[in-house]
Chains A and B, each alone.
Chain A
Amino acid sequence: MEKDASKQLYDTYFNLTNRYVTVILRNGKALEGSFLAFCRGEEREGESYITRWHLVKGTDDSLLRVDAFDFLPGTYINQADIAEIRFHQDNSTMKFL
């Protein structure tokens, strides 16, 4: 069985030391930053491993970065909307069909 593309991205991403990435969406828009969090799919019901990513600007992903008013920075990206990801650590890319 072909490996789930979102799982491939997850495995690759969390093995990086420099987690700064450029995400190119299917609508052509490019976003930069690092993934702070992700939403899991229900695999036993046929969903992909990750369904959404929470992208924040900057490289420092070690803090939650919640402000005093509980506002969270960043953007949510659906896994299905991602066309390509460039990893700044080695300039490699991962493309999604």
Chain B
Amino acid sequence: METQQQGINGKVTMATLLVALGIIYGDIGTSPLYVLKAIIGERPITETLVYGGISCIFWTITFLTTFKYIYLTLKADNHGEGGIFSLYASVRRYGKYLVIPTILGATTLLADGIITPPISVASAVEGLTIIPGWEHLPTVPIVIVILSGLFFFQRFGTQKVGSAFGPAMLVWFSMLATLGFQQILHHPTIVRSLNPVYAYRFLVEYPHGFWLLGAVFLATTGAEALYSDLGHCGRKNIRITWVGVKTCLMINYMGQAAWLMSQGEQAFLQGRNPFFEMMPHWFLLTGIVIATVATIIASQAMISGSYTLVSEAMNLNFWPRVTVKQPTNLKGQIYIPSVNTILWIGCILMILYFRSSTHMEAAYGFSITIAMMMTSFLLAHFLYYKLKWKGYLVLAIVLVFGIVEISFFIANVAKIKERWMFLFFELFIFMTMYVWYYARKINNRLTKFIDLGRYIHQIKELSGDDAIPKFSTHLVYLTKANTRHQVEEKIIRSILAKKPKRADVYWFVHIHRTEEPYTLTYDVSELVDDKLIKVTINVGFRVQLRTELYFKIIVQELVANQELNLHIRPDGSTRYNPEPDFRFVVLEKFLSVENEFALREGLLLNAYFFLKNLGLSDEKAFGLDKSDVEIEQVPLVYHAIEKIALKRNGQYQTVE
């Protein structure tokens, strides 16, 4: 039961570079569709605005994407994996407070997931309205059909079409560079806009220039995705491809700027998109098709990223257990139906509410600024504690990023009025994670363990007591205890108290979620020969849990190695079926009515059990087959009611 790391991590070949191109640059790569249009808006075209805008884009991408993410954050890998939860898993031991920035970062990443697909696809499809005769083409239904199709096909996975993503994005980036270069030739002085002086003038001298940072920021919104996909592509592949991607992006941005300058000073865009306007007419339809394909690939990457994020959240106990499916044999590829439905509804509501990409631009980006700030905060801990960087250096990095990202955050705050409905969605995600995490902590705090050694004698006696009907040949309990001699008190109560459960062999299986993403190993220790056996299965936080399957494989291996004698003590039933049976007992907690709560704990625990009922049952979450499972309800008593004013009236009356 061993797994191997993604081979792609260490290798750099043309194929791995193409894969990287197809997976991680969808979001940042399709930004030219709307960034410059958002910066110019309804303002008159001036050199300060256009050159300043390009300069800001260049230095923002250089500072936030190249320096922060490509150079710095990609160092913070957790056994090859990236993303905010991997980062948290690496540093969580250094502070309990790190939970909140992690939840906040993950919340905002997920929330922006419902605007990335509609804004990208709408920007591409709106290009069709430039084609003569199609000016009044209704783009909203087309976007809805494309997005609905995309979400519908998620259940089949991307194994068959995934290999085309890389070449398709190569075509897209080639198109960006070619179109941009063609315009730069007409206005070569646009290259001067890379000078940071223009960015300074834009922010300081242009009227309300600072607030335009909200639009500039759209050029780097995909940077967080680079980090999340580290495990799929590997650091070297991302770094090498980024050089080409950034070059293509900047050539295109400068090409758009050159086209803008060719419109003359004080001209207005009047709703036109410079991205499509600079295309030759004969190429327009082809260009729009390529752009649409690129935005679909970008949306696909975002949707897959959301599945991964929720799956990691579940494994790190931030999210209720929901159904996770593996649509293909591709390792790591998962499909979460509930997330798919939520995102689909969210995306459709977005396009119906905003109607056009221009309106969405005014709402997009705010969440990502928060996600970036949270990543910076966690990254500082990683650099200081894990990489052992000097404190003053980490502080300097935090200060510099802090200033830049807070500036972007402030500039994006103005978008709240356009995106108020997101706040409900974000609050829902945040509260789900907060409740699940902290209520589970309360739950754990109340889980009592005992020393198993004390009860071995009684369990052995019970096992051999033929006066008690046999419950099963092999009785399996799932335990949270990670040491050999410990087990939950409720398990011992389940075996010994009330109606004792007699079995030939008692198993205690502990699932250990490792901080490494793809671990799948196990340890076995016999407490009493062939009678009491403790098994620890180490499962990486990216591995889907299939406890029963793992358990059966372990038993087979133990029998094959002659470490376990799968004997069965004969009784009446063995005459008819000599094969041993396995029975899993799942102890499911419920909130006892005999509780007295403080306000916070009461709310947390009630919300927790409400969410628990909405999510997967324990046996499904652990990957157990229903026919082999016995569910036992165990009351959770947080604080027992102590003062009960129950008075007796009169004497005990006997029958005369």
Asked if B285 is an interface residue, CB under 8 A from chain A, the answer is: no
Asked if B572 is an interface residue, CB under 8 A from chain A, the answer is: no
A44 touches B496 (CB 8 A): no
Asked if A40 is an interface residue, CB under 8 A from chain B, the answer is: yes
Identify B445's interface contact among A37, A52, A54, CB under 8 A.
A52
Identify B448's interface contact among A39, A42, A43, A70, CB under 8 A.
A39
Asked if B359 is an interface residue, CB under 8 A from chain A, the answer is: no
A66 touches B497 (CB 8 A): yes
Q: What residues of B have a CB within 8 angstroms of the CB of A22 in the complex?
A: none
Asked if A92 is an interface residue, CB under 8 A from chain B, the answer is: no
Asked if A36 is an interface residue, CB under 8 A from chain B, the answer is: yes
CA A14 to CA B485, docked complex, whole Å? 10
Q: Do A66 and B441 contact each other (CB < 8 Å), given the known contacts A39-B449, A40-B447, A46-B94?
A: no
Identify A62's interface contact among B92, B96, B454, CB under 8 A.
B454
Asked if B455 is an interface residue, CB under 8 A from chain A, the answer is: yes
What DSSP secondary structure best describes chain A's contact surface? mixed
Asked if A64 is an interface residue, CB under 8 A from chain B, the answer is: yes
A66 touches B449 (CB 8 A): no
Give the interface size class of chain B: 20 to 34
Asked if A90 is an interface residue, CB under 8 A from chain B, the answer is: no
Q: What residues of B have a CB within 8 angstroms of the CB of A66 in the complex?
A: 493, 497
Q: What residues of A have a CB within 8 angstroms of the CB of B493 in the complex?
A: 64, 66
Q: Which residues between 1 and 58 of chain A lie within 8 Å of chain B, taking CB atoms?
A: 14, 36-40, 42-46, 51-52, 54
Q: What residues of A have a CB within 8 angstroms of the CB of B454 in the complex?
A: 61-62
CA A28 to CA B457, docked complex, whole Å? 38
**B613-656 toward A: CB 8 Å interface, digit per residue (1/0)?**
00000000000000000000001000000000000000000000
- Give me the interface of A with B, judged by CB distance under 8 Å: 14, 36-40, 42-46, 51-52, 54, 61-62, 64, 66, 70
Given contacts A40-B444, A40-B449, 11 further A-B contacts (CB under 8 A): A37-B489, A40-B480, A40-B486, A42-B441, A43-B93, A45-B96, A46-B94, A46-B96, A51-B445, A62-B458, A64-B493
Pairs across A and B, CB under 8 Å, 28 listed: A36-B450, A36-B489, A37-B449, A37-B450, A38-B448, A38-B449, A38-B450, A39-B448, A39-B449, A40-B444, A40-B447, A40-B486, A42-B444, A43-B93, A44-B93, A44-B515, A45-B92, A45-B96, A46-B93, A46-B96, A51-B445, A61-B454, A62-B458, A64-B489, A64-B496, A66-B493, A66-B497, A70-B635
| Top 3 closest pairs, chain A to chain B, by CB | A37-B448, A37-B489, A37-B450
